[in-house]
Structure 1
Amino acid sequence: MLIKLLSERYQVVQVLSQGTFCKTYMAEDTYLPHRPTCVIKHFLPSSELSIPVEIRRRLFNRETQALQKLGDYDLVPHLLTYFEDDQEFYLVQQFIAGHTLSTELQPGYCWTQSQVIQLLREVLEILHFVHSHGLIHRDVKPSNIIRRTSDNRLVLIDFGAVKPILTQLVKNQKNLVPIEYSTIAIGTPGYMPSEQQRGRPKPNSDIYALGMIAIQALTGVHPTQLPENRKTGEIIWQHLAEVNVEFAAVINRMVRYHFQDRYKSAKEVLEALLPLINNQDATLLSKFPSHNNLSAYQSHAVISSTISAPLLEKPTSIPETSVIPKNSPLVVGLLIGVVSGLILMVVSYWSLQIISPEPNIQNSLPTPGNINR
């Protein structure tokens, strides 16, 4: 742990992770009231990498420019600031309170297909945003996905390995040909595809990593422990999971060994999942037969309100299905008439009792001699 303040402002309180390319600290901002918590990433530390400071500075500037493109997107940590301190380079990011997906992916514990579909939906949305801004995350793994405490949403963190999608067009006779340059191979075994290991990551390298997380969730087995086909390099996993054929096909295409055989974008994966999502929603709808005639939007609202409504909450208004019919004025009038008639009958009866003489009760009683007659 560092004793001195970084940039004479940030007090490190805990080391979160330590690797060759990046060290991550939890720190307090001493300049602000209540000393809010933030995350500081020590970019390409000189103690771990013997790279000239000029090159590290150039790479650092490129990374900060890439992170600034993400702006204030809610599902990634915000880049608060960045600075150089004694020829070391640091990124200061928003602290996300929650727990990592690693704590939910326990060995031997298998998620359901619907749970994994929801996981894919959330993370693919984030990857679509990141890729649309010309960036590759390069380190999508369970420990870099946080389930945020405030709203239970998944948040993608640790953009210390982010790489711009860079290509250079060079003239080859009459055609313009995109040339891709190799970079440092950054990633995590089990989630890193072959092209990324060679230093040539693609946007669908992140899709491969997410597909491996899905397989890990479905099987309860870490990716490094899954068998591979020796001839094709494809992952063998379906015998360990309970999924339908359509969903297995989507997962298999996400994790193809050759990147050319995978989905090209996160949007393309979401489109492939759409029929499965609709079927999943239809299954949920079948539990509410009274709403089958509603539109898709209304049905979704019915399901959401049914699931999330407090069990003991009192209704604020009488619904149309109440026991009181719509033509209540007529019914009320009839009820008033009936009650009024009954009142008049009672009043008339008691009036007659008062006017007529009291009957001889004794005469009405049977005598011993005529009881059995």
Structure 2
Amino acid sequence: MLSQLLKQRYQVVQVLSQGIFCRTYMAQDTKKPEHPTCIVKHFLPSSECAIPVEIRRRIFTREAEALKKLNNYDLVPHLLTHFEDNLEFYLVQEFIEGHPLNAEFLPGKRWSENKVFQLLQEVLGILNFVHSQGMIHRDIKPSNIIRRKQDNRLVLIDFGAVKPIWNQLIRGQENFIPVEYSTIAIGTPGYMPQEQQRGKPRPNSDIYALGIIAIQALTGVHPTQLPEDRNTGELIWQHLTQVNPQLASVLNNMVHYHFKDRYKSAKEVLEALLPLKNLYTPLHESDITLLSEDFTFEPQIPLSTDNTNEAFESEVSAQLLNNYTNDTTISIFPSKSALLMGLLIGAVSGLILMVVSYWSLQVIAPAQVENSQPKPSGLFH
């Protein structure tokens, strides 16, 4: 596949990912000066697919046209073109140079509230635009947010509605009804709310996912490891870190179990964050680093991953995490409880020592008196 020329124009230089139904390439546009890099998504229908090509073409074209609506916005990759070749379908997208946000989610590292606040503002701004175009991303997670190299701004990538829909076309062809494809469940466990798992995403399903990312950044805990309330399904996370109560309240309203209890729109969340703006200072480029507030503990927290079936190798004790907050300090002085316990142990030990000493004196003293008595001499017998 490497060096293959697609549509007599796009030369494949690297296979980025390989699936049963979709392959993603890094390619170069040979028709443009300097051969700029682009991303090509190649949708591969199974040889057993019985769905008429007309239906596949119509669905693919509809989704491609929807993605074009985002082309006048700078913080999502632009759709450059789409085409069909030998009954296989291709999307060509702008290449965003930078690193995914999951590269900043390091084991044993928590983000500062300041950095999380900026994350929320940036991504909510993107969602506000995307939702205004009648679109829902449906797979917001750290690996789908790129920190762009040229300016350190966050860019939301992989508007992947086409790929999961394409998979459903292949897998569920017997019951496939074109008008119902919007009910397909798309997303990543941990970042996907319950209504999305049932195939009924809403704009605030994206808000839920972003709130989860913010909580992950603040706590250092992967969302699949966060405990839930057995009765309500609500996430339990505030015992894992120290956070401004107002910011925590906003996050809780973003990640409520039921969509009716969440913020309805990205704009509503931005308005809720507005009173907090004076508490956090804008980050400069020099402030945005891969290492956030440092602390170290074992076991390590697993990084987020694109492979939703990958088992995490370690689990984090909530009690252990509760002992490590953003402003962790280690004191050389004992706590009050430890001091009282030490005094109590010392008092009991002293009492025992006194009793043992008294008993020893009672036993030893008569023996000493007996030994001090003069023994009769044998001359007087």
Q: TM-score range by the shorter chain?
A: 0.5 to 0.7
List per-residue Cα deviations over 1:65-87 (Å, max 9, x = no partner). Answer: 11111122110111111101111
The 8 Å contact of residues 38 and 92 in structure 1, kept in 2 or not, is answered as: yes
In the TM superposition, residue 214 of structure 1 has moved relative to its aligned partner by: 0.4
Go from structure 1 to structure 2 and tell me whether the alpha carbon gap of 1:22 and 1:233 turns closer, same or farther (over 3 Å shift). Answer: farther
Go from structure 1 to structure 2 and tell me whether the alpha carbon gap of 1:18 and 1:255 turns closer, same or farther (over 3 Å shift). Answer: farther
List per-residue Cα deviations over 1:295-336 (Å, max 9, x = no partner). Answer: xxxxxxxx98xx9xxxxxxxxxxxxxxxxxxxxxxxxxxxxx
List per-residue Cα deviations over 1:104-148 (Å, max 9, x = no partner). Answer: 011321101111000000000000000001000111111110000
Q: Which moved more, 1:18-27 or 1:110-119?
A: 18-27
| Structure-1 residue corresponding to 2:264 | 264
- Give ranges in structure 2 of 5+ residues lacking alignment: 164-178, 288-381
The 8 Å contact of residues 253 and 263 in structure 1, kept in 2 or not, is answered as: yes
Letter in 2 for 1:214: A
1:76 lines up with 2:76 in the alignment? yes
Letter in 2 for 1:263: Y
**C-alpha distance in structure 1 between counterparts of 2:149 and 2:110, whole Å:** 23
**C-alpha distance in structure 2 between counterparts of 1:212 and 1:20, whole Å:** 29
The 8 Å contact of residues 100 and 143 in structure 2, kept in 1 or not, is answered as: yes
Structure with greater Cα Rg: 1
Go from structure 1 to structure 2 and tell me whether the alpha carbon gap of 1:91 and 1:180 turns closer, same or farther (over 3 Å shift). Answer: closer
In the TM superposition, residue 227 of structure 1 has moved relative to its aligned partner by: 1.3
Give me the TM-score of the superposition, normalised by structure 1.
0.68
In the TM superposition, residue 186 of structure 1 has moved relative to its aligned partner by: 1.1
| Structure-2 residue corresponding to 1:358 | none
The 8 Å contact of residues 142 and 213 in structure 2, kept in 1 or not, is answered as: yes
| Structure-1 residue corresponding to 2:315 | none
Letter in 2 for 1:123: V
The 8 Å contact of residues 60 and 162 in structure 2, kept in 1 or not, is answered as: no
Q: Which has the higher contact order (CA 8 A, sep 6+)?
A: 2
In the TM superposition, residue 249 of structure 1 has moved relative to its aligned partner by: 0.8
**C-alpha distance in structure 2 between counterparts of 1:207 and 1:72, whole Å:** 22
Give me the TM-score of the superposition, normalised by structure 2.
0.66
| Structure-2 residue corresponding to 1:351 | none
In the TM superposition, residue 189 of structure 1 has moved relative to its aligned partner by: 0.9
CA RMSD, Structure 1 to Structure 2 (Å): 2.4
**C-alpha distance in structure 1 between counterparts of 2:181 and 2:18, whole Å:** 27
1:278-357 alignment, distance < 5 Å: 278-281=278-281
The 8 Å contact of residues 108 and 219 in structure 1, kept in 2 or not, is answered as: no
Secondary structure of the 2:54 match is: helix
- Aligned identity (percent) is 71
**C-alpha distance in structure 2 between counterparts of 1:221 and 1:105, whole Å:** 9
The 8 Å contact of residues 140 and 209 in structure 1, kept in 2 or not, is answered as: yes
1:120-159 alignment, distance < 5 Å: 120-159=120-159
Go from structure 1 to structure 2 and tell me whether the alpha carbon gap of 1:54 and 1:241 turns closer, same or farther (over 3 Å shift). Answer: farther
The 8 Å contact of residues 2 and 15 in structure 2, kept in 1 or not, is answered as: no
The 8 Å contact of residues 20 and 49 in structure 1, kept in 2 or not, is answered as: no
Go from structure 1 to structure 2 and tell me whether the alpha carbon gap of 1:180 and 1:121 turns closer, same or farther (over 3 Å shift). Answer: farther
**C-alpha distance in structure 1 between counterparts of 2:182 and 2:60, whole Å:** 17
The 8 Å contact of residues 98 and 149 in structure 2, kept in 1 or not, is answered as: yes
| Structure-1 residue corresponding to 2:215 | 215
| Structure-2 residue corresponding to 1:326 | none
Question: How many residues are treated as equivalent by the alignment?
Answer: 269
Letter in 2 for 1:110: R
